[in-house]
Amino acid sequence: MTALVTGRRADGGAVRGAPARRGPTFPRVLRSETTRFTSLRTNGWLVLGTVAAAAAVAYGLGLFVRPDDGRSGSWVVTSGFVLAQLGFLVLGALVATADHTTGTARTTFTAVPRRLPVLLAQVVVTTVVALVTGALALVASWVATVPVRAADAPALDLAVPGTARALLGLVLAGVGVALLGLGLGALLRRPAGAIVGGLVLVLLADQLLAANPGRFTDTLRASLPSAGARLLQDDATLAALDATTRGPQLGVWGGGAVLAVWVVVVLAAAGYRLVRHDVR
């Protein structure tokens, strides 16, 4: 029940004031963040663009794959992630920076003075949207590559060790990259900085280090969030990668663990800044 604020008049009589309002509950904060996300048409186009990019790139790369080049059918389906991950990254960054770019951050955190529930609600929204986007991207990529896999590309065989995990890995890695973008956005509070920083971490730095193999560079590669892309590889491919690296061998789930650690650390840093520093 809602409590009433009472006081005393100068003559000693009781005064009944307005009902005392409770602070915002997490379901209300979550509903607000969900409404904020769904009310912007650009977010819907971003999801559709990410799905389309995954399917288009998978189809295009699949045209150049032959049964004897060592690629698997699962790689053909998930190869579009190389571009689609940028959509996941932008998705998370935009969710986190929406208040800061529109100038409503002070209003939001005045209404939710504890602040962390807002970040937690954004994590939930981003996770759900990224899961749906990843699932749609996986289905679209599978459909788009059916003609390719029926021709010269290798067939998709779920009996191949790691194939099912590789397909699921597209969805899991997408969620991880989206949450990384969210954390960077909440930490830097500017979409451009978050997107550029995420782009360096999940793509550019890995490509640069791969061009200069060695013990030091291979160790750095294994510690970057780009290691999460290992989730999209089948067991045979991962074994070959570990056999040739001069850095640590991450195994089947090691890349996903590295990405998860990055997400937790960046979100923790964002939460600390949110609580300890002014909101602009």
114 DSSP β-pair partners: none
Give residue 112's pLDDT.
80
Q: How far apart are CA 280 and CA 237, in angstroms?
A: 47
Residue 3 is predicted with a pLDDT of: 45
Instruction: Please report the pLDDT score of residue 23 as a whole number.
Output: 62
Domain locations along the chain: 26-276
Q: Give residue 280's pLDDT.
A: 65
Amino acid at 112: V
The whole-angstrom separation of Cα 102 and Cα 116 is: 20
Q: What are the structure tokens assigned to 194, written together? A: 């978050």
Please state, in angstroms and rounded to a whole number, the distance separating the CA atoms of residues 143 and 54: 11
Burial category of 260 from C-beta neighbours within 10 Å (exposed 0-12, middle 13-18, buried 19 and up) = middle
pTM beyond 0.85: the answer is yes
Cα–Cα nearest to 266, from 126, 104, 170, 101: 126
Q: Are 189 and 118 in contact (CB under 8 A)?
A: no
pLDDT tens per residue, range 13-63: 544 554 545 568 888 989 988 999 999 899 999 999 999 999 999 999 988
Q: What is the C-alpha to C-alpha distance for residues 147 and 212, in angstroms, rounded to an integer?
A: 37
Strand partners, 4: 19
Predicted pLDDT at 124: 97
Contact 169, 231 (CB under 8 A): yes
Nearest to 167 by CA among 58, 14, 5, 9: 58
Whole-number pLDDT of residue 65: 87
Structure tokens, 278: 């002014």
Closest CA to 88 of 55, 131, 33: 131
Digit-by-digit pLDDT tens for the chain (280 residues) are: 344 444 455 555 544 554 545 568 888 989 988 999 999 899 999 999 999 999 999 999 988 888 877 788 899 999 999 999 999 999 999 999 988 787 777 787 778 878 899 999 999 999 999 999 999 999 999 999 999 888 878 888 888 888 999 999 999 999 999 999 999 999 999 999 999 999 999 999 999 999 989 999 999 999 999 999 999 999 888 998 899 999 899 988 999 999 999 999 999 999 999 888 777 6
**Closest listed residue to residue 239, CA positions, set 257, 255, 252:** 252
* pLDDT the model gives residue 125: 96
